[in-house]
C-alpha cells in the first residue's frame, strides 16, 4: 500500500545518503519489508561476523533482537554505534537466564563439586588438568552472561557451532553448565553421545537446581531450564502428519525444538543450515520446516520449484523479531542522516571486555 511504499522509499533514500557510513544487518527471521533493505542477511553467527567485516562504517543498524545488537557492540570498533531500531525487540529465551540466578547456581555448583567459585580459569590449576565446570552460554543471552562465561573459563556458542563449542568445553572441563536453552544443549550433547541421565536440568528456584547430590556427581551437561516459545510449539505429531500427507517429505528443524522433534526430523541446524538445506534440495522436493514462519514463507517464495511449508499450521512468528517495523528502521536511519543517534545499544566496558573473551574463544574454536 501507499504507506508501505513511502516507508520503503524513505529507507532507501536515507541509506543512499549515508552510503558506506552505515551497514544494515538483518536476521533471517525479520519480515520481508526489513530484509529488503539489509546489506547482510544471516544467522546469528554470520551476523556477529558481519559486524566485524565493516569497521569502516560509523553505525551498524541491527535488525534482529537485543542480544544480537549487544554482541555486535561488543565485537565492533569502540566508537562504532550499534543501533537496535526498536528497543522492545528482546528474546524471551534470553530473559530466562538472568545474571543473579546464574551466579547463584555457580555458587551451588562450586559447593557441590568442591571448587572455589572465584578460582583460576586455567585447567592446569585443577586435578586432572580440567576445570570442574565450564559455563557455556548460547548466543541468545545477555552480555552479562557472556561476561560471566568470559570470567569463568567459559565460552559462547550459536546453533551453528554448538557441537564444536561443546567439544572445546569437554576438552577443558569435567562438565558443562549450559544456558539458557535446554533444547539446544540437550540435542547437541545427545548427538555427541552424552546419555540423557547425565544431563540434569537446573531449576534456579530450587536448592541444588532441584537435583540430588548423586545426580549432580554423574552429570556431564547441566541444562538451564530455558526454551524458545516459538520452537517449543513444534511436535512429532506435526511431523507424522506431514509424512502421512506428503510421502517423501523432508523435514528440517531448528535445534531449539524439543528433542523428540529433532530426533524425528531428517535434519536439524541453524537458520543458515535450514536455508542451505532448502537451496540444495532437488526441484520438486517437498520440505516441511520447523522454525520461525517469516523465514519459512520467504524460503517458499524464493523456491517456487519446491513445496515448502511450516510444520506448525498456526502462524508462529517470533513476536519480538517482528517488532522491527520498517517505520523504526526509517526513523533510525533518518536520525543518522540528521546527525542524531536513536536507540544505541552500548554494553558497559567491563562487561564487554569479559564478554569479548568468551566470544573470541568461540570465534577461535569455531571460525
Ligand atoms: P540462529 O543462530 O540459527 O540464527 O538462531 C537464532 C535464533 O534466535 C533462533 O531462534
Ligand atoms: Fe528468541 Fe525464540 Fe525469537 Fe529466537 S525465535 S529470538 S530464541 S524468542
Query: Is 63 part of any known ligand binding site?
Result: no
DSSP 225-260: SB--TTGGG--HHHHHHHHHHSTT-EEEE-TTS-HH
- Distance from the alpha carbon of residue 140 to the mean position of ligand 1, in angstroms: 8
If residue 143 lies in a helix (H) or strand (E), which one and from where to where? helix 143-151
**Ligand 1 pocket test: which of 26, 159, 165 has the largest number of ligand atoms within 8 Å of its C-beta?**
159
Band of pLDDT at residue 367, cut at 50, 70 and 90: confident
Decide if 183 contacts 231 (C-beta within 8 A). Answer: yes
Please give the CATH topology (third level) of the domain spanning 94-228: Rossmann fold (3.40.50)
pLDDT given for residue 317 in this prediction: 87
Q: Note the pLDDT tens digit of each residue in 218-275.
A: 999 999 999 999 999 999 999 999 999 999 999 999 999 999 999 999 999 999 999 9
Q: Which three cell numbers stand for residue 101?
A: 540466578
For ligand 1, whether the C-beta of 312 sits within 6 Å is no
Measured distance CA(99)–CA(124) in Å, rounded:
27
43 CB under 6 A from ligand 1?
yes
How confident is the model over 159-212, as pLDDT tens digits? 999 999 999 999 999 999 999 999 999 999 999 999 999 999 999 999 999 999
Please report the pLDDT score of residue 150 as a whole number.
98
Instruction: Give the model confidence (pLDDT) of 297-334 as tens digits.
Output: 999 999 999 999 999 978 778 999 999 999 999 999 99
**CB of 92 shorter than 6 A to ligand 2:** yes
Rounded average pLDDT over 109-138 = 97
Nearest bound ligand to the CA of residue 276: 1
Q: Which residues contact 362 (CB under 8 A, 6 or more apart)?
A: 155, 156, 157, 158, 161, 165
Beta carbons of 212 and 165 less than 8 angstroms apart: no
Which ligand 2 atom sits closest to the C-alpha of 320?
3
Report the chain's mean pLDDT, rounded to a whole number: 97
Residue 159 annotated as lining a ligand binding site: yes
CA-based end-to-end distance of the chain: 43
Instruction: Return the axis-axis angle of helices 143-151 and 99-113, rounded to nearest 10°.
Output: 20
> What is the C-alpha to C-alpha distance for residues 28 and 32, in angstroms, rounded to an integer?
9
CATH 3.40.50.10800 residue ranges of the chain are 2-89+321-347, 231-310
What is the pairing mode between strands 250-253 and 286-290? parallel
Whole-number pLDDT of residue 185: 98
pLDDT of residue 1 exceeding 90? no
Is any ligand 1 atom within 6 A of the Cβ of residue 161? no
Q: Residue 136 Cα, ligand 2 centroid: separation in angstroms?
A: 18
For the Cβ of 242 lying below 6 angstroms from any atom of ligand 2, the answer is no
Question: Which CATH superfamily includes the segment(s) 231-310?
Answer: NadA-like (3.40.50.10800)
CATH class of 2-89+321-347: alpha beta
Q: Residue for cell digits 549432580?
A: 216
Torsion angle (degrees, nearest 10) of CA 356, 93, 347, 87? 150
Tell which atom from ligand 2 comes closest to the C-alpha of 94.
1
Cβ-proximal residues to 168 (8 Å cutoff; 6+ apart), any chain: 155, 361, 365, 366
The minimum-distance atom of ligand 2 relative to the CA of 228 is: 2
Instruction: Using alpha carbons, list the distances in angstroms from residue 4 to 1, 58, 87, 181.
Output: 5, 27, 22, 36
ipTM of predicted complex: 0.98
Number of the ligand closest to the Cα of 65: 2
The owner of cell 506435526 is: 238
What is the tens place of the pLDDT at every residue in 61-84? Answer: 999 999 999 999 999 998 999 999
pLDDT reading at 155 higher than 80: yes
Q: How far is the CA of 292 from the centre of ligand 1 (A)?
A: 9
Amino acid at each position: 500500500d501507499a504507506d508501505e511504499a513511502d516507508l520503503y522509499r524513505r529507507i532507501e533514500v536515507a541509506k543512499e545518503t549515508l552510503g558506506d557510513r552505515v551497514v544494515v544487518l538483518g536476521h533471517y527471521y525479520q519480515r520481508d519489508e526489513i530484509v529488503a533493505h539489509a546489506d547482510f542477511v544471516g544467522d546469528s553467527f554470520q551476523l556477529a561476523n558481519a559486524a566485524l567485516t565493516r569497521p569502516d562504517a560509523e553505525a551498524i543498524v541491527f535488525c534482529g533482537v537485543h542480544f544480537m545488537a549487544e554482541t555486535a557492540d561488543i565485537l565492533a570498533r569502540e566508537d562504532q554505534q550499534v543501533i537496535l531500531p526498536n528497543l522492545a525487540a528482546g528474546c524471551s529465551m534470553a530473559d530466562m537466564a538472568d545474571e543473579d540466578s546464574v551466579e547463584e547456581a555457580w555458587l551451588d555448583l562450586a559447593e557441590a563439586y568442591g571448587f572455589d567459585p572465584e578460582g583460576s580459569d586455567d585447567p592446569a590449576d585443577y586435578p586432572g588438568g580440567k576445570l570442574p565446570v565450564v559455563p557455556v552460554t548460547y548466543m541468545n543471552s545477555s552480555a552479562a552472561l557472556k561476561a560471566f562465561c568470559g570470567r569463568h573459563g567459559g565460552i559462547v556458542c550459536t546453533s551453528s557451532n554448538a557441537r564444536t563449542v561443546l567439544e572445546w568445553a569437554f576438552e577443558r572441563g569435567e562438565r558443562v553448565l549450559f544456558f539458557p536453552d535446554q533444547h539446544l544443549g540437550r540435542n547437541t550433547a545427545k548427538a555427541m553421545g552424552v546419555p540423557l541421565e547425565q544431563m540434569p536440568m537446573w531449576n534456579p528456584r530450587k536448592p541444588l537446581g532441584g537435583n540430588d547430590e548423586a545426580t549432580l556427581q554423574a552429570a556431564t551437561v547441566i541444562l538451564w531450564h530455558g526454551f524458545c516459545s516459538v520452537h517449543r510449539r513444534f511436535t512429532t505429531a506435526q511431523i507424522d502428519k506431514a509424512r502421512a500427507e506428503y510421502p517423501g517429505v523432508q523435514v528440517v528443524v531448528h535445534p531449539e525444538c524439543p528433542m523428540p522433534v529433532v530426533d524425528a526430523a531428517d535434519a536439524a541446524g541453524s537458520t543458515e543450515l535450514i536455508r542451505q538445506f532448502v537451496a540444495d534440495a532437488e526441484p520438486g522436493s517437498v520440505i516441511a520446516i520447523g522454525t520461525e514462519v517469516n523465514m519459512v514463507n520467504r524460503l517458499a517464495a524464493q523456491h517456487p520449484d519446491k513445496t515448502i511449508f511450516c510444520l506448525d499450521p498456526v502462524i508462529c512468528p517470533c513476536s519480538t523479531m517482528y517488532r522491527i517495523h520498517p517505520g523504526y528502521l526509517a526513523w533510525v536511519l533518518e536520525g543518522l542522516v540528521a546527525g542524531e543517534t536513536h536507540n544505541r545499544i552500548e554494553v558497559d566496558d567491563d562487561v564487554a571486555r569479559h564478554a569479548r573473551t568468551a566470544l573470541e574463544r568461540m570465534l577461535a574454536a569455531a571460525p
